[in-house]
Structure 1
Amino acid sequence: MDDKKANITAVIIIIGLIIFIIVARLSLKLSKAFFLIVGADIAVILAVFVCLVIRGRYNHRRKLLEKKLVSEGRELRIEYSFLRKVAGVPIKFRLKELEDATDNFQALLGQGASASVFKGILSDGTAVAVKRINGEEHGEKEFRSEVAAIASVQHVNLVRLLGYCCLPRGPRFLVYEFIPNGSLDHWIFPGKGTKNRPEGCLSWDLRYRVAIDVAKALSYLHHDCRSRILHLDLKPENILLDENYRAIVADFGLSKLMGKDESRVITTIRGTKGYLAPEWLLEHGVSEKCDIYSYGMVLLEMIGGQRNVTLIENGSDKSQRKWQYFPKIARDKLGEGKVIAVVDHRLVEVGAIDERQVKRVVHVALWCIQERAKLRPTMAQVVEMLEGRVPVEEPPDPQMIMVDFLSIDEEESDCHFRPKIAAMGSNVNSCNIPCSSSSSFAMSMLSGR
């Protein structure tokens, strides 16, 4: 019985007893029976009052306790939510929340082969980047790889996973913190500006700091996690810059987890082939050395402000075009003592470039892209070399078999280099195919551009 009904019942009882006393007084006068009735009625009225008081105090305490429990429950939920954020535990979003946050997925930030990224604002005002992964089997693998790799790690130079949304039949969503300055490629390559991302030119000091930031992130993944994490898709497009132009490594869709006692993992060849290590192309398995090779290629692109493999055309005559391999140019200029010649010309025009620092970075990059994986340093050693804590020795000349592939169009027309290319794939096995096709095949295998 609630308080209102209890009070009404008590009032009715008291009024009834008072009426009964009046009737008894009129009918029994001041007889002994009347006084007995009055005494009994007064006792009942007092009992009703006592019950009301006890009930009132009980209800008051109950309400205070309920309010306290509600308050404590709210505080616990707030504390739990806070601890989840601090611990980096991703939360599960509803599809409706993501649709509202992204204005029904209107603000497209970028798009890849199997995923699209949209900008959004959550209900609490947090800016996020929502990655929508399409496809059934491939989408499921990418979703699981990305969550397994990034959900439990915390590093200042790794993108933070805020939550996810997984539908029974449909796309999967990953919700990341929003990084305002976009990807590194827009800041080092000329002509990469878009409507949403104006073209910029990162200064040498910032590029050097970005190189150290990325090296620290990879060193953490390789050495400081419970299981070694291989990124396997490191490239400028997957390195983001925050509001202070610090590097944030993102996109773990192709990543692999390795046990501490494992040296290699066998996996299919995927990713951007211009950054793939030779041992992966030869299907010898992958290790953390594959990330180091990719890092070296990215480092060279940051130095020169150009892709490592570019096509140089001379007017409209296709026979005059030739391929340019930037790592070879960097190695040659380093040997000639003209290391500044490989630096992005936009930075050279501005000036204030430390030649010794450039030489150190080129040395580190050439160490990282050695064809023999055993010769490559660890990412922890790369960090020490870039920070100047250990001397950087002269690297051995890498074989750079890419130069052989790129020179086919220029000098050979009798399939002289055919055996090398045929080793890379079964489609190139006939001298009836022009050598320009061979070069194109080699480029598609090694650069993916």
Structure 2
Amino acid sequence: MANRWKCSKSHSSGEPKPEAGGGLSEKSISSGPLLPRQTVGPTSTGWPEVSYIAFDNQEHDEHPLALWYLRQVSNKGSVLKKRKKSFKVRNYDPDQATQEKLLSGISQYVGKAIMYDKEMIMEATNDLDELCKIGDSMYKATMYGKVLAIKRTNKDVKEKLSILQKVNHVNLVNLMGISYDADGDRFLVYENAENGSLENWLFPDSEASSDSLAFLSWSQRIHIALDFANGLHYMHDHTQQSIVHWDVRERNILVDSNFKAKFANFSTARPVTNSSMPKVDVFAFGVLLLELLSGKRAMETKENGEVVMLYKDLREVLKVEEKSVERLQKWIDPKLENCYPLDGALSLAALATTCTQENAQARPSLAEVVLNLSVLAQSSPKTMHKFSTSKFKTDSIVEVVIPVETR
């Protein structure tokens, strides 16, 4: 086998020197897979910066640049007695290499969750103290200086973990770690959402509402809708295999300190097996839009016992076109106090109606929903002034953003 050279550091001067055997150091030259662009020597000494050098055993003339480098790292240019090798200088494209690695299995496995000792869980929650409770079987805890949310369950979480370890998106709650004990209890450690669930903001209980007058502005509602639309869009179209949430409702949407929305509770999530499954999420998403718009629950029971479905209620509101604007203004959440763009409200109502069509195949995809909400978000000012309903006539022309279909 032909003699080969490799570089090493001299203990006395720190200068590189050749050693017999092997090949050039992997820091500069490799016959294996391409490495990112690196410098073969300190540029302060005048050595060249080489993208990548690889060689094979075919008999060709030496590449001048590579041969010059070998002479430099030898003992002050001593003659190298070795078999001729062919050298190729190739540019390395990090973007292309990274893309190939990611596309080979970007969502097959994002990462492993940390395994926590149960003692640490119990210490962080003061032995599951009621004062640490922030919801059904949910506890607030501080671990390693971070405020986290811990869910206690005795159900099998294997399928949930398999889903959570395949997704990674800013609008999906991040699983930080897990723990379990001999009694069958499982503890799932999530990132904490400081502002709680969307349900608490849309439907505060009487005690909470008396203590605070806080509510979501129009702009916050639109951006929250866009956030959880992006999360669902990622699950439907950017995971391998596609995943449906199947429990899209206000209590499963959390709001962080910046009022960014994140999907939580993946207990019913599962891989898509047919084209109708994502349309179930789209319908539930449309109902959620109606709750944001009206401040009413998806299903309410009147005093006479009549059950009112919100999506059907909106159809009745918009049924008479001549009176639709006036009737919609009365139907919209009174907390907004007319501090919203009327054309934006009509557009959101139109989008929600499209999402809640009886024919599942007629409902838009999440990609189309995201596109429409992006247009609304860009056109919705962050601050709004009240407008008088008397200024608007029912027969006035209002510009409405019609749901756009992607092709």
Q: Shorter-chain TM-score: what band?
A: 0.5 to 0.7
After superposition, the Cα gap between the structure-2 partners of 1:324 and 1:94, relative to the gap in structure 1 and judged at 3 Å, is same
The one of 164, 185, 188 aligned to 2:202: 188
Runs of 4+ in 1 over 4 A off after TM superposition: 192-195
Q: Does 1:104 align with 2:93?
A: no
TM-aligned CA deviation for residue 325 of structure 1: 2.9
The one of 351, 367, 375 aligned to 1:364: 351
Structure 1 CA distance for aligned equivalents of residues 324 and 182 of structure 2: 60
Residue equivalent to 1:126: 146
The DSSP-based 3-state class of the residue aligned with 2:375 is coil
Structure 2 CA distance for aligned equivalents of residues 207 and 288 of structure 1: 23
TM-aligned CA deviation for residue 321 of structure 1: 4.3
TM-aligned CA deviation for residue 289 of structure 1: 0.9
Give, as a single letter, the amino acid of the residue that structure 1 aligns with 2:197. S
Residue equivalent to 1:311: 301
Q: Does 1:95 align with 2:105?
A: no
The DSSP-based 3-state class of the residue aligned with 1:174 is strand
Residue equivalent to 2:309: 325
Structure 1 alignment gaps of length 5 or more? 1-86, 265-285, 314-319, 396-449
Give, as a single letter, the amino acid of the residue that structure 2 aligns with 1:341. K
The DSSP-based 3-state class of the residue aligned with 2:262 is strand
After superposition, the Cα gap between the structure-2 partners of 1:296 and 1:119, relative to the gap in structure 1 and judged at 3 Å, is same
**Structure in which a larger fraction of residues adopt helix:** 1
After superposition, the Cα gap between the structure-2 partners of 1:249 and 1:192, relative to the gap in structure 1 and judged at 3 Å, is farther
TM-aligned CA deviation for residue 341 of structure 1: 2.3
Percent of aligned pairs with the same amino acid: 31
After superposition, the Cα gap between the structure-2 partners of 1:193 and 1:294, relative to the gap in structure 1 and judged at 3 Å, is farther
Give, as a single letter, the amino acid of the residue that structure 2 aligns with 1:345. P
Structure 2 CA distance for aligned equivalents of residues 117 and 388 of structure 1: 36
Q: How many corresponding residue pairs?
A: 265
Residue equivalent to 2:78: none
The DSSP-based 3-state class of the residue aligned with 2:152 is strand
Structure 2 CA distance for aligned equivalents of residues 287 and 327 of structure 1: 20
Q: Map of 1:123-202 to 2, 5 A cutoff?
A: 124-134=144-154, 139-140=155-156, 143-191=157-205, 194=208, 200-202=214-216
TM-aligned CA deviation for residue 387 of structure 1: 1.6
TM-aligned CA deviation for residue 331 of structure 1: 1.9
Q: Does 1:246 align with 2:246?
A: no
The DSSP-based 3-state class of the residue aligned with 1:387 is helix
The one of 263, 270, 274 aligned to 2:274: 263
Contact 1:186 1:200 in 2 (8 A): no
Is the deviation greater in 101-110 or in 186-195? 186-195
Structure 2 CA distance for aligned equivalents of residues 99 and 133 of structure 1: 14
Q: Which has the larger radius of gyration?
A: 1
Task: Report the TM-score, using the length of structure 1 for normalisation.
Answer: 0.55
Residue equivalent to 1:430: none
The DSSP-based 3-state class of the residue aligned with 2:135 is strand
After superposition, the Cα gap between the structure-2 partners of 1:192 and 1:252, relative to the gap in structure 1 and judged at 3 Å, is farther
TM-aligned CA deviation for residue 88 of structure 1: 5.1
The one of 331, 343, 349 aligned to 2:332: 343
The alignment yields a C-alpha RMSD, in angstroms, of 2.4
